[in-house]
């Protein structure tokens, strides 16, 4: 399943920035890679990454499920409908460059999804917020990322209740396209207006607790960082830059 | 008793409003005192709290005329709805309560000590590791109050704090206020709940149309027939008589 | 002792900052939640920019850009699929367009909001189609890709199919989104609207 899974793997113990840097390097590297060999090497690296997090099983299944529709569409759009030259495999005629392209594109997405699902599984949101606070990240950024996720369930619940209430008042969900478009108003208006009306109170509550204060917030439980992790993050950055440099050099030459 | 807040002939108008929400209000909030402000809905009690604590017009906008002196570095405020007062950043009650002191940049040990004190005072220490979004309304409102107190405010305003609580939780909340005041804070409560307010208040004012129409000791002010009428307009049952003369008036002699 | 009426300059900035944050958060939440309403109505659109456009009208371009980018990141966190992050550029473009449209008062009437939405869809698709084509080979696993596939099967070259699919879905999606935001803004009670100076223009 998608989401944090508690554990004791090296990734769990690592500083959140390190885990995210690894996933980010996979993301950027995937877009730099252009040949099937390179892309699938990255998929292998992503699998090793997942194993290091003890999350191989936890992230492999959702990664597969997420990428499956993409693979199907890739197969159809590039494999079946691709350009010449073609080869015949059984009853089907496949495009050779198309299949190669599909392998690259599909591998890219698989590597990225696998990498980030591993990151999601091994970085607890709380630890990331603490890391950002200790790292001096401005309050606004941590607030937006963490606090939005917290208010989402209540908002979804409210949307569901508004749906029920309006249906009780006679709103029909089916019907012509125009009718369904008109139904957008009664369903979204109460949700948005209700949320807007709460804004003042929320701002006051945050202000009263010093959220806007200029003073540097005290981190209560900062995750430990180490020189080797910082070095690793820098090395990853260099590797990514090198990968892109190599890609563009190859494209020109 | 030192006056923490002094308002002299203050008139306050919200942005875009037709008329002032507070008109010609003069009032003092003193340390150690629990002041109750009551009146029909829209009479200006909430606005009075916001103006007295300095949140209006600074946070909510609007225009203030008159003299206001706030001799307090920190003012706390608690609203009726518990869930809108959460920061959304904290996954445990302890962190939520510690948020305020941490925002001040205090050293880590001081922050944790302030949080422990507040949790003990509000009897929520047993909830320390719980996720705030999983708590009941009554528990959450106590946590919110603890979070406000952890900041060590010199003035504490509460806007109908027990509105969404069941009777037991409401009693528990109000019962804490005299101790808070005794520690040196100036406490002000806006509420139509005259029963509970009368139990804890040491001073009372009644507002109508943004003006103070009665003030004095709770027994004098809150037992009068005017107040009963206002309470009725607010949808509350009229308060029980607080002393013998009021009882005699109620019985008709 | 602190004094009376006019807030000091730094206090005014403080008020703007925290309030903007809460409004941006609200915009992001709307972006992420409106999908469930759209799904219940079985409409073939996403409307995942309504929050961004709303923030652009109520606050301004910078806040709208933050709302759009945060929505992109959180969408990835919630769905597990981070490969769509390059489309963040499209969020920035939508935010800027929406802020400009709001400034020109185009959301005040439905008759101007819908054409503004069509324009927004055109601009958004002009950004997303190349990203989709060059980085993803036209496959983004949404309804758009299905349209692309159908067009390709009918004989259109890949580039044309991707472009046609992107433009047709985005024009519709953004037109509806802008119409909805126009309705929302016109339904704001007067006292609430007065709290947003950006609306007065």
Backbone φ, ψ for residue B60 (5° rounding):
-100, 0
Output the pLDDT for position B68.
Answer: 94
CA distance B156 to B185: 7
Give C124→chain A minimum CA distance, Å: 22
pLDDT-derived band of residue A84, with 50, 70 and 90 as boundaries? Answer: confident
CA distance B9 to B27: 8
Residue C2 is given by DSSP the state B
Chain C: residue whose CA lies nearest to B87: C22
Q: Are C124 and C174 in contact (CB under 8 A)?
A: yes
Any A CB within 8 A of B83 CB: yes
Mutation choice for C interface testing from B10, B13, B16 by most C CBs within 10 A = B16
pLDDT-derived band of residue A6, with 50, 70 and 90 as boundaries? Answer: confident
Any A CB within 8 A of B148 CB: yes
Asked if the model's pLDDT at residue A226 lies above 70, the reply is yes
Who contacts C114 (Cβ-Cβ below 8 Å, separation ≥6)? C175, C178, C179
Q: Are C23 and C60 in contact (CB under 8 A)?
A: no
CB contact under 8 A, C139 and A70: yes
Chain C residues near residue B15 by CB distance under 8 angstroms: 191, 194-195
Q: Are C198 and C59 in contact (CB under 8 A)?
A: yes
Whether a cis peptide bond, with omega within 30° of 0, leads into C104 is no
CB contact under 8 A, A188 and C43: no
CB contact under 8 A, A163 and C37: yes
Q: Distance of alpha carbon C100 from its chain centroid, rounded?
A: 13
Average pLDDT of chain A to the nearest whole number: 89
Total beta-carbon pairs less than 8 A apart between chain A and chain C: 166
pLDDT-derived band of residue B244, with 50, 70 and 90 as boundaries? Answer: low
Asked if the model's pLDDT at residue C6 lies above 50, the reply is no
* Structure token pair of residue C152: 């390709």
Mutation choice for A interface testing from C14, C24, C25 by most A CBs within 10 A = C25
Any C CB within 8 A of B54 CB: yes
Domain range annotation of chain A: 10-131+225-252, 138-208
Mutation choice for B interface testing from C4, C16, C189 by most B CBs within 10 A = C4
* Structure token pair of residue A108: 């890219």
Any B CB within 8 A of C193 CB: yes
Q: Which of A28, A211, A230, A166 is nearest to B96 (CA)?
A: A211
CA distance A116 to A85: 36
Backbone φ, ψ for residue B64 (5° rounding):
-115, 130
Backbone φ, ψ for residue C5 (5° rounding):
-65, -70
CB contact under 8 A, A205 and B84: yes
pLDDT-derived band of residue C201, with 50, 70 and 90 as boundaries? Answer: low
Output the pLDDT for position B242.
Answer: 59
Q: pTM for the full model? A: 0.90
DSSP track, C105-169: TTTSSHHHHHHHHHHHHHHHHHHHHHHHHHHHTT--SSHHHHHHHHHHHTT--HHHHHHHHHHHH
Any C CB within 8 A of B69 CB: yes
Output the pLDDT for position A184.
Answer: 92
Output the pLDDT for position A234.
Answer: 94
Any A CB within 8 A of C17 CB: yes
Any C CB within 8 A of B57 CB: yes
Domains and CATH numbers, chain B: 1-32+44-73+189-253 (3.40.50.300)
Output the pLDDT for position B143.
Answer: 96
Who contacts C80 (Cβ-Cβ below 8 Å, separation ≥6)? A2, A62, A63, A66, A113, A116, A117, A120
Output the pLDDT for position A144.
Answer: 92
Give B202→chain C minimum CA distance, Å: 25
pLDDT-derived band of residue B125, with 50, 70 and 90 as boundaries? Answer: very high
DSSP bridge pairs for B13: B63
CB contact under 8 A, C43 and A117: no
CB contact under 8 A, A152 and C180: no
Asked if the model's pLDDT at residue A59 lies above 70, the reply is yes
Burial letters B163-199, b for 16+ CB under 10 A, else e: ebbeeebbebbbebbbebbeeebbbbbbbbbbbbbbb
Of B83, B86, B102, the CB nearest to A217: B102
- A162-215: pLDDT as tens digits: 999 999 998 888 888 888 999 999 999 999 999 999 999 999 999 999 887 777
Average pLDDT of the segment spanning B114-143: 93
Average pLDDT of the segment spanning A93-115: 90
Of A74, A113, A144, the CB nearest to C24: A144
CA distance B87 to B78: 13
HEC profile of chain A: CCCCCCCCCHHHHCCHHHHHHHHHHHHHHHHHCCCHHHHHHHHHHHHHHHHHCCCHHHHHHHHHHHHHHHHHHHHHHHHHCCCCCEEEECCEEEEHHHHHHHHHHHHHHHHHHHHHHHHHHHCCHHHHHHHHHHCCCCHHHHHHHHHHHHHHHHHHHHHHHHHHHHHHCCCCCCCCHHHHHHHHHHHHHHHHHHHHHHHHHHHHHHHHCCCCCCCCCCCCCCCCCCHHHHHHHHHHHHHHHHHHHHHHHHHHC
Output the pLDDT for position C196.
Answer: 87
- C48-100: pLDDT as tens digits: 999 999 999 999 999 999 999 999 999 999 988 888 899 999 999 999 999 99
Average pLDDT of the segment spanning B199-228: 83
Least confident span in B125-139, B216-230, C13-27: B216-230
Output the pLDDT for position B237.
Answer: 64
- B147-200: pLDDT as tens digits: 999 999 999 999 999 998 999 999 999 999 999 999 999 999 999 888 888 889
Average pLDDT of the segment spanning A106-120: 91
Output the pLDDT for position A244.
Answer: 92
**∠ CA C84-C150-A97 to the nearest 5 degrees?**
70
* Structure token pair of residue A85: 């030259």
Q: Which of C1, A131, A226 is nearest to B73 (CA)?
A: C1
Average pLDDT of the segment spanning A235-244: 94
**∠ CA A149-A154-A156 to the nearest 5 degrees?**
90
Chain B residues near residue A151 by CB distance under 8 angstroms: 88
How many angstroms separate the Cα of B26 from the Cα of each of B3, B158, B211, B253, C15? 13, 19, 9, 35, 26
- B40-86: pLDDT as tens digits: 888 899 999 999 999 989 888 899 999 999 999 999 999 999 999 99
Chain A residues near residue C149 by CB distance under 8 angstroms: 73, 76-77, 81
Q: How many helices (H) and strands (E) does chain B have?
A: 9, 9
Any B CB within 8 A of C2 CB: yes
Average pLDDT of chain B to the nearest whole number: 88
Chain A: residue whose CA lies nearest to C81: A113
Any C CB within 8 A of B84 CB: no
Chain B residues near residue C191 by CB distance under 8 angstroms: 14-17
Domains and CATH numbers, chain C: 10-200 (1.10.1760)
ipTM confidence: 0.89
The bridge status of strand B203-208 relative to strand B34-39 is: parallel
Burial letters C185-200, b for 16+ CB under 10 A, else e: beebeeebbbbbeebe
Any A CB within 8 A of B13 CB: no
Q: Are B78 and A191 in contact (CB under 8 A)?
A: no
* Structure token pair of residue A157: 């619940």
Neighbours of chain B (3+ CB pairs under 8 A): A, C
Give B96→chain C minimum CA distance, Å: 18
CA distance B82 to B144: 7
DSSP track, B48-59: HHHHHTT-TTTT
Higher-confidence position of C31 and B237: C31
Q: Are C176 and A184 in contact (CB under 8 A)?
A: yes
């Amino acid at each position: 399943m998608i989401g944090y899974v508690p554990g004791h793997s090296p990734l769990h113990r690592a500083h959140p920035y390190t885990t995210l840097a690894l996933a980010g390097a996979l993301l950027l590297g995937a877009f730099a890679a252009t040949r099937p060999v390179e892309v699938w090497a990255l998929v292998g690296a992503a699998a090793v990454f997942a194993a290091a997090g003890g999350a191989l099983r936890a992230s492999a299944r959702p990664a597969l499920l997420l990428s499956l529709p993409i693979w199907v569409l890739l197969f159809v759009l590039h494999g079946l409908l691709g350009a010449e030259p073609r080869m015949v495999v059984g009853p089907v005629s496949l495009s050779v460059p198309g299949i190669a392209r599909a392998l690259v594109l599909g591998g890219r997405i698989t590597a990225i999804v696998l990498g980030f699902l591993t990151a999601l599984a091994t970085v607890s949101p709380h630890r990331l917020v603490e890391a950002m606070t200790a790292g001096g990240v401005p309050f606004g950024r941590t607030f937006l990322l963490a606090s939005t996720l917290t208010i989402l369930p209540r908002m979804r619940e409210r949307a569901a209740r508004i749906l029920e209430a309006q249906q009780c008042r006679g709103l029909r969900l089916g019907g012509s396209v125009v009718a369904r478009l008109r139904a957008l108003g009664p369903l979204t208006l109460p949700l948005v207006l209700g949320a807007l009306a709460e804004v003042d109170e929320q701002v006051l509550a945050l202000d009263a607790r010093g959220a806007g204060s200029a003073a540097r917030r005290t981190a209560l439980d900062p995750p430990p960082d180490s020189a080797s992790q910082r070095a690793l993050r820098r090395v990853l950055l260099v590797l990514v830059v090198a990968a892109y440099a190599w890609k563009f050099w190859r494209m020109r030459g | 008793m030192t006056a923490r807040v002094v308002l002299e002939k203050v008139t306050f108008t919200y942005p875009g409003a037709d008329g002032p929400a507070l008109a010609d209000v003069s009032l003092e909030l003193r340390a150690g005192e629990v002041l109750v402000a009551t009146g029909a809905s829209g009479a200006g009690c909430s606005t009075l709290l916001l103006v007295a604590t300095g949140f209006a017009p600074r946070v909510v906008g609007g225009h203030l005329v008159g003299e206001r002196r706030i001799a307090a570095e920190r003012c706390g405020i608690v609203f009726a709805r518990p869930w809108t007062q959460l920061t959304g950043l904290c996954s445990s009650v302890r962190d939520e309560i510690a948020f305020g002191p941490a925002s001040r940049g205090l050293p880590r040990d001081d922050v944790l000590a302030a949080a422990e004190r507040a949790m003990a005072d509000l009897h929520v220490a047993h909830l320390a590791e719980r996720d705030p979004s999983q708590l009941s309304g009554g528990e959450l409102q106590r946590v919110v109050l603890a979070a406000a107190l952890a900041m060590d405010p010199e003035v504490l305003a509460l806007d109908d704090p027990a509105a969404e609580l069941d009777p037991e939780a409401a009693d528990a909340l109000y019962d804490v206020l005299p101790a808070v005041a005794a520690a040196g804070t100036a406490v002000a409560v806006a509420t139509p709940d005259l029963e509970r307010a009368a139990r804890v208040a040491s001073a009372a004012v009644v507002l109508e149309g943004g003006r103070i129409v009665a003030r004095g000791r709770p027994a004098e002010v809150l037992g009068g027939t005017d107040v009963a009428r206002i309470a009725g307009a607010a949808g509350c049952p009229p308060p029980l008589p607080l002393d013998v003369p009021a009882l005699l008036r109620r019985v008709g002699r | 002792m602190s004094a009376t009426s006019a807030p000091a300059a730094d206090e005014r900035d403080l008020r703007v900052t925290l309030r903007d944050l809460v409004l941006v958060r609200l915009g992001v939440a709307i972006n992420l939640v409106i999908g469930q309403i759209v799904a219940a109505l079985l409409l073939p659109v996403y409307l995942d920019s309504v929050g961004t456009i709303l923030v652009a009208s109520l606050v301004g371009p910078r806040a709208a850009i933050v709302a759009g980018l945060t929505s992109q990141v959180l969408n990835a966190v919630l769905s597990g699929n981070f490969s769509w992050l390059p489309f963040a550029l499209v969020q920035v473009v939508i935010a800027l367009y929406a802020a400009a449209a709001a400034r020109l008062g185009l959301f005040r009437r439905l008759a101007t909001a819908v054409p503004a939405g069509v324009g927004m869809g055109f601009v958004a698709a002009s950004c997303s189609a190349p990203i989709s084509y060059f980085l993803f080979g036209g496959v983004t696993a949404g309804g758009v890709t299905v349209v692309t596939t159908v067009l390709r099967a009918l004989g259109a070259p890949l580039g044309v199919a991707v472009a046609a699919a992107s433009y047709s879905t985005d024009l519709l999606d953004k037109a509806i989104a802008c119409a909805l935001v126009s309705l929302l803004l016109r339904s704001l009670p007067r006292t609430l609207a007065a709290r947003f100076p950006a609306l007065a223009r």
